[in-house]
Copies of this chain bind each other. A is one copy, B any other.
């Protein structure tokens, strides 16, 4: 495990595409320190006391939003959350830019933002003073998810460099896969992506990953496998014939896992479709680190908010 001496200098966390290897390691190392706080009876440090964080979730979210909200509270920040666009002034025809400028004018320190459009947080970050954390933008990036995935791999495997990491499922619509690819390749992992042809972006190999349509080849020798959520709501667009067929072709069962390394870890960003991308006994079995990911997510988000706030005393 490399401990870096880098200082954090960026105002925003928009994606792993923009981060150096050293910056990624700095976040992971900082998160390590925050892991311990959530295990104490008194899960709270004064690091962000009196700072204001606004969570702007213009696309529905539960787990990411809750994870950020807990991270903020455990750092003692004052926080506020907008969910959806209903009953908000955006419904009155206000532009996102005007809404964001209003939030800025209230002397907000950090904005955590999820948006259905790829690039929306990057656009805001250019003209707003507060630090922006991208909590998922369209099909582009979801950097804190990838950071918590990488943190979990490092905790379990004690390294990332040289590991074989596979992503199976809907790669096309997955900002999680995209952020992981940027991050893992920078840290020296070998990444394989696998899914139905219709759910693999045509240009994906240019990101430095291996592509396969054969799930057994994606599993073979893998140190870590991330299953991506099949978005049932997209199924009407017919990316694959049926859920039953998807499970048979790409779903992960205990039998299929015999080709992986003995100590393979199974990951999923959640929420899981049980019996679609993942069989119950794998989701709940000894290889699964899915709930560790959730636990680590709070620590990683505390680290990101802490570093962006410049609160390093």
Contacts and interface: CB of A to CB of B under 8 A. Distances in A.
Contacts of A161: none
B87 A78 contact: no
B93 A39 contact: no
Which of A49, A89, A104, A298: most chain B Cβ within 10 A?
Answer: A89
Contact of A98 (B73, B233, B271): B271
Contact of A43 (B51, B54, B105): B51
Contacts of A91: 60
Nearest to A38: B107
Contact of A88 (B62, B78, B82, B292): B62
Given A43-B51, A98-B271, A271-B98, A80 B89 contact: no
A88 B84 CA distance: 11
Which size bracket describes the interface of A in this complex? 35 or more
Contacts of A66: 54, 80, 82, 103, 106
A44 B51 CA distance: 8
A202 interface: no
A69 interface: yes
B271 A106 contact: no
A113 B294 CA distance: 21
B89 A295 contact: no
Nearest to A64: B89
A20 interface: no
Nearest to A232: B93
Given A51-B41, A87-B60, A70 B298 contact: no
B82 A87 contact: no
A92 interface: yes
A42 B52 contact: no
Contacts of A83: 87
B63 A89 contact: yes
A217 interface: no
A291 B60 contact: no
A95 interface: yes
B42 A50 contact: yes
20 contacts: A38-B107, A42-B49, A43-B78, A44-B50, A44-B78, A60-B87, A60-B91, A67-B106, A69-B80, A70-B78, A73-B78, A74-B78, A89-B270, A93-B273, A98-B270, A98-B271, A99-B271, A102-B270, A106-B294, A106-B295
**Across chains A and B, which 4 residue pairs bring their CB atoms closest together, nearest first?**
A42-B50, A94-B271, A105-B294, A44-B50
